[in-house]
Amino acid sequence: MKRSSPRQPHHSFVSTIFLIRLFTSWALIPGLLVATPAIAQSKADSPTMTYGQLYKDIKSGQVKKVEIDPLAQKARVTLKGQAEDAAPKTVKLFKTNPELIELLKTSQVNWGIRRTSDNSALVNLLSHVIIAGILIGLLLMIIRRSTQASGQAMSFGKSRARFQMEAKTGVGFGNVAGIDEAKEELQEVVTFLKQPEKFTAIGAKIPRGVLLIGPPGTGKTLLAKAIAGEAGVPFFSISGSEFVEMFVGVGASRVRDLFKKAKENAPCLIFIDEIDAVGRQRGVGYGGGNDEREQTLNQLLTEMDGFEGNTGIIVIAATNRPDVLDSALLRPGRFDRQVMVDYPDLNGRHKILEIHAQDKKVDEEVELATVARRTPGFTGADLANVLNEAAIFTARRRKEAITMAEINDAIDRVVAGMEGTPLIDNKSKRLIAYHEVGHALVGTLSPGHDPVEKVTLIPRGQAQGLTWFTPDEEQGLMTRSQLLARIAGLLGGRVAEEVIFGDAEITTGASNDIEKITYYARQMVTKLGMSELGLVALEGENDNSLGGDWGKRSEYSEAIAGKVDQEIRQIIRAAHQQTHQIIEENRVLMDQLVDLLIEQETIDGDQFRQLVEKFHAKQQEKVLVMQG
């Protein structure tokens, strides 16, 4: 699409009109400046005696001294008997005053002529010089602005990448933990840059690009900083969104300029953060074939592996959306390596906590291994936020060091939100207590379910009560029994309301639970092959944001869709019956747990499991006694 260059005649026209008006008023300003001293003098020496009164006082001998200023047409009169520090009186004179002069000559008055200095010529000259200086300054300012505007227009297509000849990021591989596999792969890149002959001697080539893939907060940008800090070579860093502008061709020009500067400083590193902003698949969605993003991507593909090549330049890019990237960008020769930066495991979280705890005052009783076990699924950014929130709690409570109490409160705040005001002991509080105990009890008694961590009635965020489950170990895969146990645990709150209060008193508190169990059941039927429909994948990982699924028909018939709905309802119905049976069999235990929860407002997971085991042990003893 052809676009005309921006026109700026209006700015020049306005500047010209302004200068013409300024030149026109030039002649008026000197007169005002010259007249200003006279006006000021006139205000300072306002007449205090009339001409007739002066004539009369001279005749009566009351005047001691008269000074006449013919230029200002004034006379300063000193009367006899007047105090020495008193100011003389001023009399306004006429142009010619022959009668006054004759009277003064014949009288005994001490009089004379005292002319004031005439500075009008000097003031006039200075006013012209000042105005000329102002006009010259305005002209220079207009010329300079025009030069800058033209310079900006010429540099609009220049790269905006931040450049460091020696990357002083302050981050090395010692500051990165929890992602050892990614560190190991990227350490080879550093070795390539420091000792390329070690690899080129046997014919190995330096990789063109490394793509860091992973969820937000796992440390992709931190890894790039560590590579730059360790390699000690020139380093360019830019965000993918900085390439794209509303003007067609600007992004491609910036890519060309970036790689031109990089070739001049090779070997070097280029880091492109959030590359999905510019590297999305071509030919889908909006924008057409001549889209600015597509032109920028085409230029990036050419620069990374085109006709000329880019020897000595390693491109490191980061994204959390690899599914939207163009396939031509991901092929070997452009991004030779794709490094997965995933969630840290238990050991990785422990190492991350140790790094972030180095600059904080942590109590000796704090066990970071315990904190790591309680935070599965947390990224490095989440763990850093937990310790920072714990430090804030410590300062607010005026403690000298961070304790486990602050860390536990920080984890709760990060997971569920700010702590609210506890509920008053009434029907609503008891209903919420039964709901939360239902979750915890069914989850504890369902084989394969994650162990309960905490049950609380303290509101956090929008939740009036919360039940946390924490897995004992890292789970990569889930069995069918574990999925069914999770569905049953989610149904525990609603079923507890049904059993205790009846169908008429069920609340809207289970809305989120119902969404989750429907999602799990649908996944089991349509993707995981865990239903009577068999091993068929009826739904794929679709992403409507690319525009490729607009108007797309379902991959299965209406008859199959009906069977899918029937299977989903069957899975949920079976889980509902199982949950109902657990709560009916443990009704007495549930009442005891609810009373304790209302009293304490929070029950830890260990205490909850001990109470459940103790109750079942007593029940078992009663059964044995009855049988004996």
Q: What is the pLDDT of residues 21-42, one digit of tens each?
A: 555 555 555 555 444 444 444 4
Give me the residue label for tokens 């990569």: 476
Q: How confident is the model at residue 44 (pLDDT cuts 50, 70, 90)?
A: very low
Fold classification of 346-414 is Helicase, Ruva Protein; domain 3 (1.10.8)
Report the chain's mean pLDDT, rounded to a whole number: 79
Most confident among 149-163, 231-245, 405-419, 519-533 (mean pLDDT): 519-533
What share of the chain in percent tops pLDDT 90? 23
Q: Tens digit of pLDDT for each residue in 328-377? A: 888 888 888 888 888 888 888 999 999 999 889 999 889 999 899 888 88
Residue 351's alpha-carbon distances to 2, 157, 212, 374, 380, in angstroms, are 55, 44, 21, 14, 10
Polymer length of the chain? 628
Instruction: Say what the pLDDT of residue 122 is.
Output: 73
Nearest Cα to Cα of residue 240 among 208, 214, 195, 270: 270
Instruction: Say what the pLDDT of residue 20 is.
Output: 54
- Reply yes or no on domain 45-118 having CATH 1.50.10.20: no
More confident residue, 30 or 622: 622
Q: Does the structure show a pLDDT above 80 at 13?
A: no
Question: Buried b vs exposed e over 269-301: b needs ≥16 C-beta within 10 Å?
Answer: bbbbbbbbbbbbbbeebeeeeebbbbbbbbbbb
**Separation between Cα atoms, residue 595 and residue 535, nearest integer Å:** 47
Catalytic residue among 294, 303, 406, 436: 436
Q: Does the structure show a pLDDT above 50 at 452?
A: yes
DSSP H or E run through 560 = helix 558-585
**Separation between Cα atoms, residue 372 and residue 349, nearest integer Å:** 5
Q: Tens digit of pLDDT for each residue in 89-106? A: 888 877 777 777 777 777
Q: How confident is the model at residue 229 (pLDDT cuts 50, 70, 90)?
A: confident
Q: Which residues pair with 452 in a beta bridge?
A: 469
Fold classification of 162-340 is Rossmann fold (3.40.50)
Q: Tens digit of pLDDT for each residue in 512-542? A: 999 999 999 999 999 999 998 888 888 765 5
Q: State mean pLDDT over 214-238.
A: 83
Q: Which residues pair with 90 in a beta bridge?
A: 76
- Residues contacting 526, CB < 8 A, separation 6+: 537, 538, 539, 564
Strands (E), 436-582: 452-456, 466-469
Instruction: Say what the pLDDT of residue 592 is.
Output: 93
Instruction: Say what the pLDDT of residue 30 is.
Output: 53
Q: Is 303 a catalytic residue?
A: no
More confident residue, 98 or 215: 215
Q: Does the structure show a pLDDT above 70 at 61?
A: yes
What share of the chain in percent tops pLDDT 70? 80
Q: Does the structure show a pLDDT above 60 at 576?
A: yes
Q: Does the structure show a pLDDT above 70 at 151?
A: no
Q: State mean pLDDT over 567-577.
A: 95
More confident residue, 434 or 228: 434
Q: Does the structure show a pLDDT above 50 at 407?
A: yes
Q: Does the structure show a pLDDT above 70 at 149?
A: no
Q: Does the structure show a pLDDT above 60 at 153?
A: no
Fold classification of 427-542+553-626 is Methane Monooxygenase Hydroxylase; Chain G, domain 1 (1.20.58)
Domain locations in the chain as residue ranges = 45-118, 162-340, 346-414, 427-542+553-626
- For 198, half-sphere exposure in the C-beta direction (CA atoms, 13 angstrom radius) is 8
Instruction: Say what the pLDDT of residue 148 is.
Output: 56
Instruction: Say what the pLDDT of residue 43 is.
Output: 45
Instruction: Say what the pLDDT of residue 131 is.
Output: 84
Instruction: Say what the pLDDT of residue 307 is.
Output: 62
